[in-house]
Amino acid sequence: MPPIKLTLNGKPWSVDADPDMPLLWAVREIAGKTGSKFGCGAAQCGACTMHVDGQPVRACSTPIGSIAGSKVTTIEGIEGKVARAVQDAWVKLDVVQCGYCQSGQIMSAVALLTDNAKPTDQDIDSAMSGNLCRCSTYVRIRAAIHEAAKALEI
Amino acid sequence: MSGTITNLSRRAVLMGLGAGTFVLAGGLGPAARAEDSPKKYGGDAMPGGVKDDPRLFVAVAADGTVTILCHRAEMGQGVRTSWAMVIADEMDADWAKVRVDQAPGDEARYGNQNTDGSRSMRHHFQALRRIGAAARQMLAQAAASQWGVPVAEVTADHHSLMHAASGRRLGYGEVAAAAAALPVPAREALVFKDPAKFRYIGRADIGLVDGFDITTGRATYGIDVRRENMLYAVVARPPVHGGKLVHYEVDEALKVPGVVKVVVLNTAPLPSGFLPKGGLAVVAENTWAALKGREKLKITWDDGPNVRYDSAAYRAELEAAARAPGQVARNQGDVDTALKAAAKRVTAEYYIPHLAQAPMEPPAAVAQVTGDACEIWGSTQAPQTTRETVAKVLSIPAVKVTVHQTLVGGGFGRKSKPDYIAEAALLSRAMDGRPVKLTFTRTDDLHHGFLHTVSVERLEGGLDAKGKPVAWLHRTVAPAINATFAPGVKHEGASELGMGAVNTPWIVPNLRVENPEAESHTRIGWFRSVSNIPHAFAVQSFVAELAAAAGRDPKDFLLDLIGPGRQINPADMADGWNYNEDPVAYAYDTGRLRGVVERAAKEAGWGKPLPKGQGRGIAAHRSFASYAAAVVQVAVDAQGKLTIPRVDIAFDCGPVINPDRVRAQLEGAVIQGVSLATLGEISFKAGQVQQDNFDSYEVTRIEAAPKDIRVHLMPAAQYDAPLGGVGEPGVPPIAPALLNAIHAATGKRIRSLPIRDQLRA
Ligand code: FES
Ligand code: FES
């Protein structure tokens, strides 16, 4: 099997793996980037959320072979105005509790705000519904998204 | 300030084995310790007790950097931040120069490390103050000696020592070496800061020490640990608790590229306690290969004695038990006569199924066995229990097990049990000492957990002609946690009964609590707030049912039932346990319970009219020595769709150390309470758990979570007052307040959880 070629956080990445291997395991165990988390393995919790060509995907359910040539961005690699605004808002409001779900939450929130600069509560509900937080930090997640949107206006 | 957990190397430095920059951490002398008393309570009664030697927990470098060692597990409660806030405040350290490190598991050295029972601040606040004060006094003494002035003339001032008369000043780093050589002051010689001068304690704007690392993906949880040459494993466990391997074929599994070995793990005999369930482990070059290999295993199991465990049938058993007399746990007056004479009798049965903690990080750990020693990197609430369990399965001494504590990606009680870590250790040994990472999938987590119990709570009440309660009979039936650890246990233990079953302070002349038998067929364990969940759900629902029967406002009725403010020795309510706290210092204070009820009601606008289809419900509960009351407001539309526009929760935990984290814990507790009430259910058929993932074991998502949660913290009289717990006590009042609100909005009384679609027309 020839290696699968992609871009990971801006750098070329050539992976020697079963093309069926989910992107999540390839990133965590082969590339060694553990910021994206395993929570369900079945696209039900959002802990593994990454951006593939700018779109949020559940990496646990994305075979690496299916995205050859794509640009993959993980929590370790997000940059730009929106990402900074989101991370700053998260820190400012002390959103996190255990924190385990939060890289996925942040990846989803960045994708939302990149698409929609002024999300309503309904927009937040639908964009963030796939991201579970068992510590239940939802009140602050919502507040932080609004906060980041406000910061981006200026 | 950085919150990266780097424990081994850092620990070496703290022990004086490192580069020697951390000079306050000298050799260990006798610690200032709790005086021996006949019966110990609180932290002193825990295995390992409470340690307050500053040399264990504080190191000051020559450049002034203060390193504070936290020995509690960080699992979202913010303890690493709050812990450091207290020490830093008492020692007058500059927060910008403080960093936090994590202690490995070692209770002989650090004192008790079990992070559960809402105990971290409750048991340690005063000890942390002693640590900080002693460190400050040692630094002051060192400065005084250098200047040749009496120590009384030296004052600590934000990371430096001052001699006012001469205007001289020395930084903490400059005197650290000299301070480290000084004896630790005796406890009687410690002088504490005036709380009015606290800089950090009580402040809401101290950022989390781990906040940056977490939001940038740098934080390390147990599941993230990587070691050189590491292998990855998953285990096929017996689908029925107590089942065993009979026959297996592994050839197909071994053909999966990346699979290295299949290992047989022994099944511990029942009751198996913390020990692993056994089964077949697939060890591979990566987790994906291990998972694929596991799918290819062909296994025949002997399902063992629990194969007929069926939740529907078991519920009927519990109900039958609840309808007959059981072991009496508390008795006052003559309930039977009073019930017969009552003008009105109300009977209700409440059911709440098993629940899984389902922390977002499933159980996972890395182990590496070297000769007769084992190193563990793991996410655990109980590092010392982990050492002991690993030692047991490997037959090595516990001192040979090193547990490096990572951040815990949610615990809620699941990670108080080290079964998964013991599996990792066994597998590393089977792989000749290569490090092995063992991961539970979500399905493994739900199928092989230590579940919250399942219970039927039956209540019977009598009212006199004026609607005053005259009789209260509560039968609580639930398999016990102790049944996981000891054979033949069929009754709830003192701690379970003391979680809101026996210890109700009601003004009712005739009151009896009974606990009929219930047999356990699965592993029961702790779940955030434990038996307070079923007890508060039933008791606080029933109070509202009695109020309705009496034609009274439920809040007023509840306050009358609580009665006037008074201090009750819990033993007088047949609760000799009282969360292991002193029954006098931690008496049941009905004034505080009234306080939270009144506050929650006032803040929520209790009694103000609401639109049709909306309603408010109230519930109050004392647990973990704290007092919580919630008012939940619901809206139920014509189709029966439930929304929760607002929740007010009033909370009295005594002195508040880190108000923002207390608020965060309560926000989370409210939603977790909503989650278990609306969706939570683990059920069994033929001995097997029926839920496989978050599609069938649903937990609340953002769109269903209440958007408006208002936390009202009751001010404490003073910082010397006893502290209550914080992590758990917010959960119990939520389900009953929600059900009472649904009743107010719709007239429908739901007594069986979860609510799920019971409101649909
Ligand atoms: S781990 Fe991918 S969605 Fe849960
Ligand atoms: S912060 Fe713990 S799961 Fe979200």
* Top-confidence residue, B26 or B738: B738
Structure tokens at B130: 């002693």
How confident is the model over B530-579, as pLDDT tens digits? 999 999 999 999 999 999 999 999 999 999 999 999 999 999 999 999 99
CB atoms inside a 10 Å sphere around CB B9: 11
Query: Is the CB of A43 inside a 6 Å radius of any atom of ligand 1?
Result: yes
> Do the Cβ atoms of B589 and B573 come closer than 8 Å?
no
How confident is the model over B263-291, as pLDDT tens digits? 999 999 999 999 999 999 999 999 999 99
SS3 of residue B753 by DSSP: coil
Share of chain B above pLDDT 90, in %: 94
The ipTM estimated for the assembled molecules is 0.98
Could you give the residue range(s) of every CATH 3.30.365.10 domain in chain B?
7-215, 222-305+363-439, 311-355+450-746
Distance (Å, whole) CA A132 – CA B634: 23
Nearest alpha-carbon partner for A58 in A37, A79, A78: A37
Q: Is B428 exposed, middle or buried (0-12, 13-18, 19+ CB in 10 A)?
A: buried
pLDDT at residue B31 tops 90: no
Structure tokens at B242: 């107590």
Distance (Å, whole) CA B308 – CA B554: 42
**CB-side neighbour CA atoms (13 Å) of B439:** 29
Instruction: Report CB contact under 8 Å: B667, A33.
Output: no
Task: Name which of B27-41, B240-254, B611-625, B652-666 the model is least confident about.
Answer: B27-41
Q: How confident is the model at residue B32 (pLDDT cuts 50, 70, 90)?
A: very low
Distance (Å, whole) CA B3 – CA B215: 12
**For residues B56-93, b (16+ Cβ closer than 10 Å) or e, as one string?**
bbbbbbeebbbbbbbbbbbbbbbbbbbbbbbbbbbbbb
Atom of ligand 2 nearest to the CA of A99: 1
Q: How confident is the model at residue B334 (pLDDT cuts 50, 70, 90)?
A: very high
- Residue B148's region, left for phi above 0, alpha for psi from -120 to 50, else beta, is left
Beta bridge pairs of residue B273:
none
Q: How confident is the model at residue B634 (pLDDT cuts 50, 70, 90)?
A: very high
Mean pLDDT of B343-352: 98
pLDDT at residue B199 tops 60: yes
pLDDT at res. B18: 29
Share of chain B above pLDDT 70, in %: 95
Distance (Å, whole) CA B637 – CA B613: 6
Structure tokens at B570: 């819990």
Instruction: Report CB contact under 8 Å: B288, A25.
Output: yes
Strand segments, DSSP code E, in A9-78 are 11-15, 49-52, 55-58, 71-73
**B271 φ, ψ to 5°?**
-75, 135
> B524 to chain A, minimum CA–CA distance in Å?
20
Torsion angle (degrees, nearest 10) of CA B329, B331, B335, B336: 60
Q: How confident is the model at residue B42 (pLDDT cuts 50, 70, 90)?
A: very high
Structure tokens at B163: 């001699």
Has domain B7-215 been given CATH number 3.30.365.10? yes
Distance (Å, whole) CA B375 – CA B753: 43
User: What are the structural domains, with CATH classification, of chain A?
Assistant: 4-73 (3.10.20.30), 81-153 (1.10.150.120)
Nearest alpha-carbon partner for B3 in B224, B220, B222: B220
> A39 to chain B, minimum CA–CA distance in Å?
6
Atom of ligand 1 nearest to the CA of A43: 3
Contact partners, residue B209, CB within 8 Å, separation at least 6: B1, B2, B3, B80, B81, B84, B99, B100
pLDDT at residue B14 tops 90: no
> Do the Cβ atoms of B229 and B435 come closer than 8 Å?
yes
Q: Looking at chain B, which residue has its C-alpha nearest residue A30?
A: B286
Mean pLDDT of B487-502: 98
Of chain A, the end-to-end C-alpha distance in Å amounts to: 50
Q: For chains A and B, what is the number of CB pairs under 8 angstroms? A: 181
Distance (Å, whole) CA B287 – CA B506: 55
Instruction: Report CB contact under 8 Å: A42, B693.
Output: yes
> Do the Cβ atoms of B744 and B617 come closer than 8 Å?
yes
Q: Helices A138-153 and A121-128: crossing angle, nearest 10°? A: 120
Beta bridge pairs of residue B472:
B461, B511
> B267 to chain A, minimum CA–CA distance in Å?
26
pLDDT at residue B13 tops 50: no
pLDDT at res. B8: 33
pLDDT at residue B665 tops 90: yes
Ligand 2 pocket check: which of A37, A95, A97 to mutate, most ligand atoms within 8 Å of Cβ?
A97
At A104, the amino acid letter reads G
Query: Is the CB of A102 inside a 6 Å radius of any atom of ligand 2?
Result: yes
Distance (Å, whole) CA B112 – CA B619: 34
How confident is the model over A52-71, as pLDDT tens digits? 999 999 999 999 999 999 99
| Cα–chain center distance at A124 | 15
Instruction: Report chain B's C-alpha Rg in angstroms.
Output: 27
SS3 of residue B236 by DSSP: strand
Q: How confident is the model at residue B26 (pLDDT cuts 50, 70, 90)?
A: very low
Distance (Å, whole) CA B284 – CA A96: 33
The highest-level CATH class for domain B311-355+450-746 is alpha beta
Distance (Å, whole) CA B75 – CA B61: 28
Candidate from B216, B670, B693 with C-beta closest to A87 = B216
How confident is the model over B63-120, as pLDDT tens digits? 999 999 999 999 999 999 999 999 999 999 999 999 999 999 999 999 999 999 999 9
How confident is the model over B393-427, as pLDDT tens digits? 999 999 999 999 999 999 999 999 999 999 999 99
Of chain B, the end-to-end C-alpha distance in Å amounts to: 55
Looking up tokens 């069929």, which residue turns up?
B490
Structure tokens at B688: 């097997």
Q: Helices A102-115 and A81-92: crossing angle, nearest 10°? A: 130
Pick the CATH number of B222-305+363-439 from 3.30.70.1150, 3.30.365.10, 3.40.50.2300, 3.30.200.20: 3.30.365.10
Contact partners, residue B602, CB within 8 Å, separation at least 6: none
Distance (Å, whole) CA B309 – CA B303: 11
pLDDT at residue B600 tops 60: yes
Mean residue pLDDT of chain B comes to 95
